[in-house]
Amino acid sequence: MQYRKLGSSDLTVSEIALGSWLTYSGGVEKTQAIACVHKALDLGITLIDTANIYGRGAAETLLGDALHNIKRSSYVLATKLFFPMTETDSGLSRAQIHKQIDASLKRLKTDYVDLYQCHRYDPATPLEETMQALTEVVKAGKARYIGFSEWPADKIEAAFAIPNVAQFVSSQPQYSLLWPQPEAKVIPLCKKHNVSQIVWSPLAQGVLTGKYRPGSAPMSGTRAASPSMGGFFHDEWLKNEILQAVQDLEPIARETGLTVAQLALAWVLREPNVASAIIGATRPEQVEENAAASGHLLSAKVLAQIDAIISPALAAA
């Protein structure tokens, strides 16, 4: 496992992070989920990412159990807030930030998180109020650093213009071979402000593993076939043009000594501004395969071959 510095912080994180969105919020049986967490730690994965909304506290509770008795300084723990926890609890107001951090810490069975992230931008709360409240959380020692997820570029810039508040060190965008959009605005802006990316869905919700075949229905037990772990954001990813392109990556991956999933993760990690790529895993074996992508550098020739396959498919889908 290789490690990268997280933005302007003093945190070092593993290139592969373990997420808990659809998997550990109810999609995976508890014993198996905990086994995945422990396998990740054994493999050198140090960044564990979650959010209060995942299972409305279920993922944080599971991680609190899984990480209990693990040396706290041996891993980097990140959580988020924004989405509704109840009919009245949502957003990034000062009251919500203080309420939700306390609730998250209780579920996670810890005194602090290393990274507290705004899951989305809150247009209903003045940005100054949000930033000041986050600063108060940092000063109280409940979070070491702060980050954001899927914020518009202008709001990121506006946050950095506010004086005397804690500075963001991380951005969490969706980013993959099938979703390169952050390259246009978010990544260049984050480079300017020394903010690193912790990317989610680098395997495009499993499509970039190659397990979905063109012309065939998703296999039983896969995320696309599971009511509890479904929720595809981009239906076009399951179109034959995309699925065939992913199959066409297999010879390139094999030549490089990687699986298709490892190739896709290495592609994301080719970007220096990406500190870590978040994987989701239902079995310890998946954690092991994905972790093995760390440290692989793709040549210019391989990157060009990948682009020649994926770009036309994205245009056609």
Which residues are part of the catalytic machinery? 54
Instruction: Report the C-alpha gap between 225 and 211 in whole angstroms.
Output: 12
209 three-state secondary structure: helix
Provide the strand spans (E) within the chain.
Answer: 3-5, 12-14, 16-18, 47-49, 76-81, 113-118, 143-148, 168-171, 196-199, 274-279
Could you give the count of Cα atoms lying within 13 Å of 210 in the half-sphere of its Cβ? Answer: 18
The answer to whether the beta carbons of residues 208 and 280 sit under 8 Å apart is no
Residue of 15, 14, 12, 34 lying closest to 23 (CA atoms): 34
Instruction: Report the C-alpha gap between 41 and 73 in whole angstroms.
Output: 12
Instruction: Report the C-alpha gap between 58 and 24 in whole angstroms.
Output: 7
**Could you count the other beta carbons within 10 Å of the beta carbon of residue 234?**
16
Intra-chain end-to-end CA distance of the chain, in Å: 35
Instruction: Report the C-alpha gap between 271 and 258 in whole angstroms.
Output: 18
**Could you count the other beta carbons within 10 Å of the beta carbon of residue 283?**
14
Residue of 170, 165, 161, 178 lying closest to 79 (CA atoms): 170
